[in-house]
Structure 1
Amino acid sequence: MTTMQDVARRANVAVSTVSYTLSGARPVAPETARRVRAAMEELNYQPNAMARGLASHRSHTLAMTFPRFDTAMGETVFEIVRGAQHEAARHGYSLAVWPLEETEAGAELVALVRQGKADGVLLVEVEVDDPRVAALKRARLPFVMVGRTADPTGLAYVDIDFERTVDDAVGELYCLGHRRIAFIGRPASQAETGYGPAVRGRQGYLRAMNNRALEPLAFHCDASPQAGQALARELAALEEPPTGVVVMNDMAALGLLAGLQAQGLRVPRDISVVGAVSSPTLGAMTTPALTTTHAPGERMGAFAARALLAILDEHLDPADCHQLVTCSVVEGESLGPAPGADLEGNHPREKSSS
Structure 2
Amino acid sequence: MATMQDVARRAHVAVSTVSYALSGARPVAPETARRIRAAMDELDYQPNAMARGLASRRSHTLAMTFPSFDTAMGETVFEIVRGAQHEASRHGYSLAVWPLDETKAGSELVALVQQGKADGVLLVEVEVDDPRVAALKAADLPFVMVGRTADPTGLAYVDIDFERTVDDAVAELHRRGHRRIAFIGRPDAQAKAGYGPAIRGRQGYLQAVEQRSLTPLAFACDANPHAGQTLARELMEHEQRPTGIVVMNDMAALGLLAGLQSLGLRVPQDISVVGAVSSPTLGAMTVPALTTTHAPGERMGAFATRALLAILDQQLDPADCHQLVTCAVVDGESLGPAPGR
TM category, shorter: 0.7 to 0.9
Alignment-derived partner of residue 96 in structure 1: 96
Q: Judge conservation of contact 1:125–1:195 (CA < 8 Å) in 2.
A: yes
> Are the structure 2 counterparts of residues 99 and 25 from structure 1 closer, same or farther at C-alpha, using a change threshold of 3 Å?
closer
Distance 1:223 1:24 in 2: 45
Task: State the Cα deviation string for residues 29-53 of structure 1 (Å, max 9, x = none).
Answer: xxxxxxxxxxxxxxxxxxx956851
Amino acid at match of 1:262: S
SS at match of 2:149: coil
Is 1:327 paired with 2:337? no
Q: Judge conservation of contact 2:154–2:320 (CA < 8 Å) in 1.
A: yes
Is 1:257 paired with 2:250? no
TM-score (norm 1): 0.82
Q: Report how many aligned residue pairs link the two structures.
A: 299
Task: State the Cα deviation string for residues 306-330 of structure 1 (Å, max 9, x = none).
Answer: 0000000000000001100000000
Which ranges in structure 2 are unaligned for 5 or more consecutive residues? 1-18, 26-47
Q: Judge conservation of contact 2:23–2:53 (CA < 8 Å) in 1.
A: no
Distance 2:101 2:170 in 1: 35
Distance 1:130 1:49 in 2: 32
Amino acid at match of 1:174: H
Q: Judge conservation of contact 1:147–1:196 (CA < 8 Å) in 2.
A: yes
Alignment-derived partner of residue 127 in structure 1: 127
Task: State the Cα deviation string for residues 202-254 of structure 1 (Å, max 9, x = none).
Answer: 00000000000000000000000000001001111123310000000000000
Q: How far is 1:54 from its partner?
A: 3.4
Q: Judge conservation of contact 1:67–1:101 (CA < 8 Å) in 2.
A: no
Amino acid at match of 1:178: H
Distance 1:95 1:24 in 2: 17
Amino acid at match of 1:272: S
TM-score (norm 2): 0.85
Distance 1:241 1:267 in 2: 15
> Are the structure 2 counterparts of residues 239 and 61 from structure 1 closer, same or farther at C-alpha, using a change threshold of 3 Å?
same
Q: Judge conservation of contact 1:50–1:58 (CA < 8 Å) in 2.
A: no
Distance 1:310 1:322 in 2: 14
Alignment-derived partner of residue 191 in structure 2: 191
Calculate percent identity across the aligned residue pairs: 84
Q: Judge conservation of contact 1:120–1:312 (CA < 8 Å) in 2.
A: yes
Amino acid at match of 1:164: R
Q: Judge conservation of contact 1:84–1:298 (CA < 8 Å) in 2.
A: yes
Distance 2:72 2:50 in 1: 32
Which range moved further: 49-58 or 291-300?
49-58
Alignment-derived partner of residue 200 in structure 2: 200
What is the RMSD computed on CA atoms of the aligned residues?
Answer: 1.7
Q: Judge conservation of contact 1:291–1:334 (CA < 8 Å) in 2.
A: yes
Task: State the Cα deviation string for residues 49-83 of structure 1 (Å, max 9, x = none).
Answer: 56851341200000010112335311000000000
Q: Judge conservation of contact 2:292–2:332 (CA < 8 Å) in 1.
A: yes
Alignment-derived partner of residue 108 in structure 1: 108
